[in-house]
Chain A
Amino acid sequence: MLALTRKPGQKIMIGDNIIIHVVDVQGDNVRLGIEAPKSVKIYRSELYEAIIAENKKAGASSHENVDLSDILKNK
């Protein structure tokens, strides 16, 4: 991992067409601006990681001998 220190107003370029702007720092919060082609997806990592974790749980849970046949009847 490459670690850089930047001040608000400075930027980081990733490859030829991704730019991270360090917009502002207020206390614990860093405001970032990201310029990237539409094809590059940008997510808050905790959301993406939560989805990975949930998919892994979902893939494991369907192994249980779960009986879903009465579900509609209860609804």
Chain B
Amino acid sequence: MEMQFRIFRHDPQVEAKPHYRSYKVKADPRDRILDCLNRIRWEQDGTLSYRMSCGHGVCGSDGMRINGVCGLACQQLVKDYEGQEVLLEPLPFFPVVKDLVVEMEGFLKRIGEQRPHLMARGDPPEKERLQDPRDRRKVDDVIRCILCACCTGACPVMTRNGDYVGPAALVWAYRYICDSRDSLYRERLKNIDFANGVWSCENFFDCTRACPKKIPVTRCINTLKREAEKLGPR
């Protein structure tokens, strides 16, 4: 089958404004959208830029907006877009480096601010720390995060408020707040208990719908809100 693509193009180094370019490419219904991008770049237009690495939704490189919906190009199949023109754009709100490639530093910085590492009490024992499997299960969903930024790109609040820490940072806060081995429960909660923290979330659920790893992002954020409320007045 033949697929039609319209792709966001912008090289901020040489042009003031972005433009869109159309491509036609032959594809098998089982191909990934990423396969089509590769075919375009390898066979037609080597100037097109995008990120990719593992090609099966584990590394998180190829987050982009596909027909208006944030997702991974390697997880979307051609057959689901049959008969449509596919519009590919970079993740919204992220500064564009070139074409579909966006700046990730700000996104990672906000996750880093959550201190995403274990802060356990005291010296570690000789062997492993013991952890009840029920406690371990509390982080089952969130450890699926691959830092692809699709949730943050999809969040409508981010459009209005660039200072919101964003859903991905909150997922990482949740990861350690809910880890029974960690000792910073209060401090971590306080760190997100402010207007641009957990309270910016308005329950649009777009993050949950966008997450390619099916993490219940909004539910996690709501849990954090409840836990923060339990801490008492700020």
- A and B associate: no
A residues contacting B by CB (< 8 A) are none
